[in-house]
Amino acid sequence: MNLAIKFFRYSLVGVVCTAIYFLAMFLCVEVNNIEPVLSSGISFLIMTIFSYMLNKKYTFGGSYGHKELIKFFIVASIGFVLNILIMYIIVTKLSMNYLISELVTILIIPLVNFILNNYWTFKSV
């Protein structure tokens, strides 16, 4: 499959996972009164589980394997650290609304994750 098709599929999965992320974020912050930085971490982990399953099936193909799962979670961990760092800086240091931070992370983290997943995690798939 060529790179453009992979990126398109990855983007579609990303839209679904972003909706899952924002739903989890809303439930954490607005319903359960969990502070936004912690809520972001919880939501990111929930989204990552869905992202692995959907991207493995629809974007990169192949069977589920432990090697790819471990690599995927390493990439997700890099994204997780970036997510928390961006959230911390924007919410805590700049005193801006957590939703602005979410918009910034949505622009940066998926691109980094696609590159790492395409050229490292699922390289052999």
Under-70 pLDDT residues of the chain = 63-64, 124-125
The answer to whether the beta carbons of residues 39 and 84 sit under 8 Å apart is no
Instruction: Confirm whether pTM is higher than 0.95.
Output: no
DSSP states along the chain: --HHHHHHHHHHHHHHHHHHHHHHHHIIIIIT---HHHHHHHHHHHHHHHHHHHIIIIII-S---HHHHHHHHHHHHHHHHHHHHHHIIIIIIS---HHHHHHHHHHHHHHHHHHHIIIIITTT-
| pLDDT recorded at residue 64 | 65
Number of domains observed in the structure of the chain: 1
Q: Rounded distance, CA 104 to CA 37, Å?
A: 14
| pLDDT recorded at residue 44 | 83
* Mean pLDDT value across the chain: 91
| pLDDT recorded at residue 102 | 86
Question: Domain residues for 104?
Answer: 3-121
| pLDDT recorded at residue 124 | 67
Cβ burial, residue 37 (10 Å; 0-12/13-18/19+): middle
Contacts of 124 (CB under 8 A, 6+ apart): none
Question: Which amino acid would we find at residue 57?
Answer: K
